[in-house]
Structure 1
Amino acid sequence: MVSVDNLASKLVLLNSTHINNDDINECRLLGQERDESYLFSWVQSNPSTNASKTCIGEYNYEENTLNFIYSFGEKIDCIQASVNPERTLLLYVIKEKRDDNDFVYKSYLYNISDNYQNAYLIKEETKRQTYVQFLNSKPPSTEKFLLLIHQEGIYQYLIKRNSPNENVTLSSLTSEVLVKNFFWAQWDPLEQTLYHIHNKSRNRGFVDGEERTTEANNKSTPTLTGLQFNDDHPHESVLNIPLNLPHLNTSDTSATYEDDVIPLRVHDSSLDLIVVTSSNGCVCICHHYLYQPIQPSENYKDENDTTPINFAYSVTALHQSCVIHCVVNDIPWNRAKNIRPLFKLRGDYLVVFIPEICTHLLDIGLMHEPYCHITTGPLISDKESNLLYLAPIISTDDYIINLTNLDLIDMSVLETLAVETFKSNTTLENKLSILHHFIIHLEDTQTASELISWHSSKPFSMDYPELLKEFLVATSFASMQKNLPSEANKITTLLPITTQRLGLDLEIKSDNYVINMSQEVLWNASMMVLSPQLRIVPYKTDIWLKLWDHLSKFCKIGIRFKPSQVLDKLRISLECYQPEALSRCTTPSSPTGGAASTFADFLNNARSQTDSLPFYEIDSCTASRQEHIISVNLRELSMHLLKQTSNSSKKFRQTDQSNMHVHAAATRYVSSQLDQSRQLCEIVCKAATYDPEEDDDKGFILINNLGEERRYVLFKLLEKYYMAVEALAFPLPQGFTSFFAYLGYRTMDFDMFMQYVVNHVFELQVDVMKIILAEHDESKDGINKKLRLLSVLPRQRAKRLLNQWSHPISVILRAREHSQNILSGITGLPTRSKTQNPSCSKGLGSYHGGKNVSPLDTFLDLLTAKASLTEIDFGLLIEASELANDFD
């Protein structure tokens, strides 16, 4: 925990300027208004007379100013207060203890200009929790405030004055009942919204026109309702959501209260629920509860009872139409009953801090579906937990307040905590979510790269390739989104953003607890929100319009593209892929490729040479595997985007202009794939201690000069990198294929190397084959190895290498293939051998019916019957026959 400031010490310092020798202590937060100002109370004591009095003041944190408002004249337990926007009226609530140990609540209205006189009691004292709150109403001559009394009602008071300076009396107040018999309420000062929960009867069923009254239909359902208060218009009900509140007892007459003033909530301790909102349209309903999965013991709920119970909470992310459940198992009752979780929206995450246990960062922002939730350790140590009572405040996203000592706490430490969690023994899903957090939400690729480099020290971990895949997908999305036109932003909802599955159930083991997380879909969420056309002010720009718009777009989102779609196509196309058989003019990157020239321009620009890779970015074949993969990605992605945008337009009968940007989005995304593939290769090579400033050599020379241990580390890291890239059907950097194959050849024994080749892990290009063939001598073992290598090559590549191998076996193999082509009907212009043997004509002319003929003459005569003389390479065949006799 990082405390950045203490408000109590500031209050003491500001009070010391206009008090004599009085002591200031017992500072208490009474509330926070819409303009972010704080209302505080403190006890001012005179050491000489031992007299104490409670005072109320308004503190502005940004300006660091304190405005003194009211003094009680004695020490009073004031628990809550509110001030009107003009700062002329003060509402406050005091809590008094009676002789029978019961508490009563009293609410008062005070004219600030009355010099501490004429504080009017608004309503008779009550044992039910009571709060008051001014509304941001206009004009000032008819101000309004709310009076909330638990399980009794919510009242709206109107203050009628002839002028803003006129003092208010009880006769100036008129009231109306807004809500009856509620058992939970919360005030949102920023949005001027009042949430309350009440029991709503279920609708009765009808069968054949007759009313059916069953026990199920007679039951009531807890319902959360949101009342939106408008400055110039009456309030309206904008939200109605049925809730599932297990083990809720709303008829308890001996309710105990925990006076929560930030946020302002009216409820007893049996229901810990809070609504967290953001002005961008995020609405989260957070419910914390305890339950016991086994039969309770006799001393259950005793102060020192250690019976294990489950600590649980649920978050209904209304804007995402989902509910997230979390259960922490087997916490002793005497600990669980004192734990108060904190719920705070911070950027795209809902931070859930459970003291002494863990911190959750729920990814429920508007950027994408709720995929990647993070679980870290607690923000503070166990020693400090007894001094903790955290509450969210109206300020920047990074601050919360500890109501116990009025410390402001900086939540930016969560990034440091996430890095520490990544490096701990946490689950794979947690590590993937942390990478996603830094790349997508914080746009901090540098930290993500450092985490990948750190994890490269464990290349044999099963997590490592999955982390590389997440890095590739997330960085490609982030890079593409930066360069995409604003008109095409809708298309980003169709592109892959993470490798994790939506709604994945997780079980995360911490040091002492098992934490289970699950997620389910909330159906028909838009039916729970008032539509914009039914508002008092139609299409008013506020949180509810943004929520409605997001829910409307949510049902229009198509299916995200999956890399497996490209992978399935490549499994088929790469089987018959022969790069040597293609000419440069038929490849997608051809500068003269006509319509493909735009794609060629981006591809050539993406291939800018870099010195940070240990190989030269050059492929020796005419049409590289990289270009083939890029072209398949581009085709499949374009078709997917076009199909999804067209289906969305037809479904909702709208004209969608986003399909005009399909090609631009697809091209930029494929370009990002190549860029990020290269960047990840640089990170992995750097983790393998390759430093371009110190290592002068590159390519095959570098591999030959590397030590055995360093060469092995580089190979293992690049092997995991290759697995990740291939699994996503991403393109590899040019030159990687040959470098990786030769590195494997120099790292492992020949038989293992051949297994990699047979299983298509290594692709033997011409450049690497020339070096490998040259390293083997012409011994029997060397020839066998060369033949094994040539046998697994594509036909055209093997023929090129055979033509360059000056060995009798090469001539024999080429002669056999030539004869086989003629006999099978595959004829063509012959490739003349270097030595033309004149005996070929003699063999042909020696055929006479009565004479003996040689087998070669007979075979040559057989070939002439299948093809013309110009199609037969007689010199190659005769040379092969002679070499075969000598070779045997």
Structure 2
Amino acid sequence: MLLQLSAAFDLHRDVVPWLVERLAAEAAAPVAGLRAGLDPVENNYEALRVVNIERNGKVIYSCKDNKKNVFFGLYDLHTKKNEHLYTFEKDLQVASCSINHEKTLLAVSFLQSDKERRNELQPVSKCLTLLIEIHPVNNVKVLKAVDSCIWVQFLYPNDERKPFPESHLLLISEERYIEQFHIQVIREDENRVVIKNLDHLPRDRVVEDFLWAQWDMSEQRLYYIILKKSESILKCIQFYADENFNLIFEVPLDISLCATELMLVNFGFEDSQNQGGLSKDLNLHVFTSHTGSLCVCYHKKLAAQEQVTYSVFYLHKGYSKTFTVDLGTLEYLLSMKDITFLNLDYYVAVYLPGHFFHLLNTQHPDLMCHSLFLPGKNEQMNLIPDGPLQSLSGSLAWDWCSEKLFRVNFSQSSLLHFLWSSSLDYERLAVLHCVLACGRNPRVLEAQIIRWIFENIWSCHTFDPIQEFLIASSYWNFCLDINNLDQLFPYSSVHSWNREIPGVTSVTKEILLPLMKVQNSKGYWEKLNANLEYVKYAKPPLLYSNNMVKREWRNLISEEKRGKRRSTAYFKNIHENAIKVISNLETWTVEPRLVPLFQEEDNQQRLLIGLMVSELKDHLLRNLPVQFIGKKKIEQLVLDYVSKMLDLLCQMLETSWRKHNLHSWVFHFDGSGSAGEYAVFHTMTQILDSVNRMCLPLPPGFHTLHLALGIHCLPLHSLLHYIDDGVLLLTETGVMKLLKDLDNTEKNEKLKFSIVARLPPSIMQKISHIWDHPINSHIISRNYVKQLLQKSKRKFQSPAIDKSSFLVEFLPLNFLIEVLAEIETPHQALNPFEECDSVDAKFVEEAALKQTTMLLNL
């Protein structure tokens, strides 16, 4: 299963043994509180149930003994210990319960029945809400005695280390209002905490006339919806420890809410039989993540039909998506199970047990290929509980049926298994991102993905797995910690998707952005506001592209070929950027690398590395608030980002090296290639193609190593074809080693001549003295004459010779030498081979005579 559900709390596992042990102890020595006769084993736990889960991981539960006394206990998820809170020695039906952070006050709401009347004339309120001092057990105050149901919830301070002079309690009424009580406490002695001014507790009216409310226990937020001119308005209130509360935002939602409906989410775990007028047909949840995303998931049960429709409002993006799922079976018409929405940080899981499982990417929901859509019969759904789960804050989810509290995480092994087993591109693409976003131990994870890429590189038709891995891995590593950074870096190599996903259709609609009511907020609200500002003003999107780097890189290479040079300061800055990246990358290397890289200057790749660093840095400095982030932090981020891409490429080469047992490979040009070298050569060719199409830098030394493997593995005609098409690049280091390593056999001479004849002048002038051979002298002479004549402005009169009768390039020799000698004056001669001082007209004459002699077999 893609989701891993581990039981953090099981009522029967974690509570029942403790209750039984407590019973045995009290049977031997009865004490006040829980009396003998409470046997949860014999009564099948019918009266044992969870009533609330507090912010600090404490679970409140209640049960009844055979005398109908109500017992309240507390289980701590962190210490895994139980403790007794309070016991009512009468039969009461618990509606809601909450305890303050210091465990000194207990708020309880009971539903009363008509049987509790002492006489027929005495009125009995439907709901009784009590505030009880429990440290130690002392006073009881009635907060409400009304005919509508009341739910209670203590607020928890964000900083739990602060002292507790005051507690704050929310009362949520079925009559659609929410009040906040301010309860001051005093410590009378070392162990006695009591309520100050018990007879008069200050209170505020927080919300009125709401239809739906959700409590976020982790972040202390209250989301609620009101009707305004028949329009549903979502609002949010943030509660603070050092101040009262603030209305943070409001936004209209295109959802249909009936004025007679009422729904509460995460206000305890009341029995569904006692929900009274609460709506059972409305399924609405608000989910957030630490990156500043804000999603509203909405589903309304309709009459039985063969399709299910649900909507997700991506409020941080400014649009909503409505998904329609073909169920493909009539079982749903009979079961009418409810859809479950689970918050998984970067994702929202939406599923209907036995029918479908969807994993929606909330960071980048625009393309469906980045979300996962599984049909009901997929094996990945086998372990999902049949009953609905209630998503709580963090990674917790409550199972109503089993009364278990689960920690929900992604199963890394299942995600990787699914990546290997799926044959559909959109599933592979979605799972690849999910693995990178949610996986643990990234180094091991990246190695497993690389192995998958090498096995499936030819079977992906709609995306390049190498490109997607490089872009996505770099994104998930660096782009989520700083506001708007994920909006500036590329997320995927796939920019559009128009293919159908079987069984699922989606309609996208623009919506209004939330109106922020508070300025200069921090934490989550600052990130949400930054996302909203980006959506408002970033038209078109400000995603980084390597197009500028590509143009500049090609211009610099072209200028270098023409002998032009930019300013020294410009090249110095680019060179320093490249040095910083390579130095930064070396600090990440834990084990020695097997692949012989980084052993040469490789000016072109260093130039590309430095250019990418420079362009990325300028891109971020233009679009990020440098005064808040800092220029040094941005510079380090860019270095890490480019270093990460190079590191991933090195990992790919290392994986291929080990897979084909090239552990002890020695860099040389002699001999023929093995099967392993042939496989690695084609892997490097595929990497080169993927990287070149995005103009990403390669590790220095890549082209030299690629050339060496090509010479080993390819016949000469194929090798020259690869060189002429630009697949294999002739590097100075590679050619020099080739000329030194190979002797002058006929086969090697042919190879050397073919290589030297294709050298660019910038390399030719540096290595021409390495190979002392007439053929090399001929090539040097020809290139020298060509460049010398091109640079001379003198116009020569062509001799009256029938050129068609001469096939040898250097005849008539006398006239050529005379022309060269005339050009070679101290003022006119511009020797392109500055390191070869012996190249002159005399050298050309000797080389031409030798060449002529060889051609005529004299």
Q: Same fold (TM over 0.5)?
A: yes
**Partner in structure 2 of residue 391 of structure 1:** 390
Matched, 1:498 2:491: yes
The alpha carbon displacement at 1:637 in A equals 3.0
**Partner in structure 2 of residue 66 of structure 1:** 83
**Partner in structure 1 of residue 650 of structure 2:** 678
In structure 2, distance between residues paired with 1:628 and 1:752: 29
Taking a change above 3 Å as real, the CA distance of residues 168 and 376 of structure 1, as seen in their structure-2 partners, is farther
Contact 2:436 2:472 in 1 (8 A): yes
The alpha carbon displacement at 1:763 in A equals 0.8
Which one of the candidate residues 109, 113, 119 is aligned to 2:129? Answer: 109
Which one of the candidate residues 537, 547, 570 is aligned to 2:553? Answer: 570
Which one of the candidate residues 682, 685, 710 is aligned to 1:716? Answer: 682
In structure 2, distance between residues paired with 1:803 and 1:280: 60
What is the TM-score with the length of structure 1 in the denominator? 0.70
In structure 2, distance between residues paired with 1:277 and 1:427: 30
Q: Secondary structure of 1:732's partner?
A: coil
Matched, 1:793 2:793: no
Q: Secondary structure of 1:764's partner?
A: coil
Which one of the candidate residues 222, 225, 241 is aligned to 2:232? Answer: 222
Which one of the candidate residues 279, 284, 309 is aligned to 1:268? Answer: 279
Which one of the candidate residues 235, 249, 255 is aligned to 1:239? Answer: 249
Matched, 1:707 2:689: no
The alpha carbon displacement at 1:464 in A equals 11
**Partner in structure 1 of residue 503 of structure 2:** 514
Q: Secondary structure of 2:226's partner?
A: strand
Matched, 1:132 2:151: yes
Matches within 5 A, 1:171-186: 181-186=209-214
Matched, 1:529 2:519: no
The alpha carbon displacement at 1:806 in A equals 6.7
Q: Quick one: which amino acid aligns to residue 32 of structure 1?
A: I
**Partner in structure 2 of residue 154 of structure 1:** 177
Matches within 5 A, 1:687-836: 688-690=659-661, 692=663, 696-700=664-668, 704=671, 707-708=674-675, 710-765=676-731, 768-769=734-735, 778=746, 789-797=755-763, 814-821=780-787, 823-824=789-790, 826=792
**Partner in structure 2 of residue 835 of structure 1:** none
**Partner in structure 2 of residue 198 of structure 1:** 226
In structure 2, distance between residues paired with 1:56 and 1:111: 14
Q: Secondary structure of 1:699's partner?
A: coil
Taking a change above 3 Å as real, the CA distance of residues 119 and 595 of structure 1, as seen in their structure-2 partners, is closer
Deviations 1:612-668 (Å, cap 9, x if unpaired)?
A: 33436434xx763222222332343344344445xx68xxxxx67745666555455
**Partner in structure 2 of residue 466 of structure 1:** 464
Q: Quick one: which amino acid aligns to residue 529 of structure 1?
A: M
Contact 1:328 1:516 in 2 (8 A): yes
Taking a change above 3 Å as real, the CA distance of residues 229 and 432 of structure 1, as seen in their structure-2 partners, is same
Matched, 1:403 2:414: no
Which one of the candidate residues 12, 17, 30 is aligned to 2:51? Answer: 30
Q: Quick one: which amino acid aligns to residue 197 of structure 1?
A: I
In structure 2, distance between residues paired with 1:587 and 1:427: 50
Q: Quick one: which amino acid aligns to residue 697 of structure 2?
A: P
Q: Quick one: which amino acid aligns to residue 186 of structure 1?
A: Q
Unpaired segments of 5 or more residues in structure 1? 46-50, 99-103, 202-219, 292-299, 302-306, 534-538, 650-654, 829-853
The alignment-based identity, stated in percent, is 16
In structure 2, distance between residues paired with 1:334 and 1:11: 37
In structure 2, distance between residues paired with 1:758 and 1:714: 21
Contact 1:618 1:734 in 2 (8 A): yes
Taking a change above 3 Å as real, the CA distance of residues 221 and 333 of structure 1, as seen in their structure-2 partners, is farther
The alpha carbon displacement at 1:402 in A equals 1.6
Q: Secondary structure of 2:227's partner?
A: strand
Matches within 5 A, 1:550-699: 551=532, 559-575=542-558, 577-578=560-561, 600=579, 603=582, 611-615=592-596, 617-619=598-600, 624-644=603-623, 658-659=630-631, 665-667=637-639, 669-686=641-658, 688-690=659-661, 692=663, 696-699=664-667
The alpha carbon displacement at 1:111 in A equals 6.0
Matched, 1:250 2:258: yes
In structure 2, distance between residues paired with 1:113 and 1:825: 100
In structure 2, distance between residues paired with 1:154 and 1:448: 52
**Partner in structure 2 of residue 845 of structure 1:** none
In structure 1, distance between residues paired with 2:580 and 2:242: 58
The alpha carbon displacement at 1:698 in A equals 1.8
The alpha carbon displacement at 1:66 in A equals 3.5
**Partner in structure 1 of residue 33 of structure 2:** none
In structure 1, distance between residues paired with 2:169 and 2:812: 116
Taking a change above 3 Å as real, the CA distance of residues 143 and 431 of structure 1, as seen in their structure-2 partners, is closer
Unpaired segments of 5 or more residues in structure 2? 24-35, 116-123, 158-163, 187-192, 795-810, 830-839
Contact 1:143 1:159 in 2 (8 A): yes
Contact 2:595 2:657 in 1 (8 A): yes
Which one of the candidate residues 872, 876, 879 is aligned to 2:846? Answer: 876
Q: How many residues align?
A: 768
In structure 1, distance between residues paired with 2:321 and 2:847: 76
Q: Quick one: which amino acid aligns to residue 689 of structure 1?
A: H
Taking a change above 3 Å as real, the CA distance of residues 564 and 93 of structure 1, as seen in their structure-2 partners, is farther
CA RMSD of aligned residues (A): 5.3
**Partner in structure 1 of residue 12 of structure 2:** 8
The alpha carbon displacement at 1:243 in A equals 0.3
Contact 1:376 1:421 in 2 (8 A): no
Q: Quick one: which amino acid aligns to residue 228 of structure 2?
A: K
What is the TM-score with the length of structure 2 in the denominator? 0.72
Q: Secondary structure of 2:411's partner?
A: helix
In structure 2, distance between residues paired with 1:227 and 1:77: 31
Contact 1:465 1:724 in 2 (8 A): no
Taking a change above 3 Å as real, the CA distance of residues 427 and 566 of structure 1, as seen in their structure-2 partners, is farther
Deviations 1:2-21 (Å, cap 9, x if unpaired)?
A: 44341233222222222447
Matched, 1:309 2:307: yes
In structure 1, distance between residues paired with 2:620 and 2:265: 53
Matches within 5 A, 1:317-336: 317-318=315-316, 323=320, 325-330=322-327, 332=329, 334-335=331-332
The alpha carbon displacement at 1:145 in A equals 4.4
The alpha carbon displacement at 1:231 in A equals 6.7
Contact 1:79 1:95 in 2 (8 A): no
In structure 2, distance between residues paired with 1:161 and 1:154: 23
Taking a change above 3 Å as real, the CA distance of residues 70 and 548 of structure 1, as seen in their structure-2 partners, is farther
The alpha carbon displacement at 1:314 in A equals 0.6
The alpha carbon displacement at 1:673 in A equals 4.4
Contact 2:489 2:543 in 1 (8 A): yes
In structure 2, distance between residues paired with 1:691 and 1:817: 40
Taking a change above 3 Å as real, the CA distance of residues 93 and 802 of structure 1, as seen in their structure-2 partners, is same
Contact 2:667 2:708 in 1 (8 A): no
Q: Secondary structure of 2:421's partner?
A: coil
Q: Secondary structure of 1:242's partner?
A: strand
**Partner in structure 1 of residue 215 of structure 2:** 187
The alpha carbon displacement at 1:515 in A equals 4.3
The alpha carbon displacement at 1:242 in A equals 0.3
The alpha carbon displacement at 1:861 in A equals 4.9
Q: Quick one: which amino acid aligns to residue 423 of structure 1?
A: W
In structure 2, distance between residues paired with 1:354 and 1:140: 46
The alpha carbon displacement at 1:559 in A equals 2.6
In structure 1, distance between residues paired with 2:167 and 2:345: 37
